[in-house]
């Protein structure tokens, strides 16, 4: 299940960066006690969580990320922004 969640989170964040962001874009995965997925792009526009209507084709990506991860957020950088999501990992 963790691999599925990771694939979905990466897909949603990268899709949002392509659709709403600007070049350059970068994906970074950081694994320690948790798994952090970061997607950076050249746009300074902050993401916002919204509820899509039943027949909307989009608008559910960040809502899915928020529901599937421990926490998520964004930060401004000197070259745009980074959106990140943190997953808890099963303890071995």
The predicted-structure confidence for 43-92, as pLDDT tens digits, reads as follows 999 887 766 655 655 556 888 899 999 999 999 999 999 999 999 998 76
Class of domain 2-88: alpha beta
Reduced DSSP (H G I as helix, E B as strand, rest coil) percent helix, strand, coil of the chain, to 5: 30, 35, 40
The predicted-structure confidence for 5-29, as pLDDT tens digits, reads as follows 999 999 999 999 999 999 999 999 9
CA 62 – CA 66 distance, rounded (Å): 6
7: left (phi over 0), alpha (psi -120 to 50) or beta: alpha
Instruction: Fill in the DSSP letter of residue 40.
Output: E
């Amino acid at each position: 299940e963790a691999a599925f969640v990771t694939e979905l989170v990466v897909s949603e964040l990268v899709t949002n960066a392509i659709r709403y962001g600007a070049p350059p874009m970068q994906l970074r995965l950081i694994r320690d006690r948790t798994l952090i997925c970061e997607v950076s792009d050249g746009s300074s526009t902050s993401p916002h969580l919204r509820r899509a209507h039943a027949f909307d084709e989009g608008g559910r990506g960040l809502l899915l990320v928020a529901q599937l991860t421990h926490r998520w957020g964004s930060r401004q950088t000197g070259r745009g922004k980074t959106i990140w999501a943190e997953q808890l990992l099963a303890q071995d």
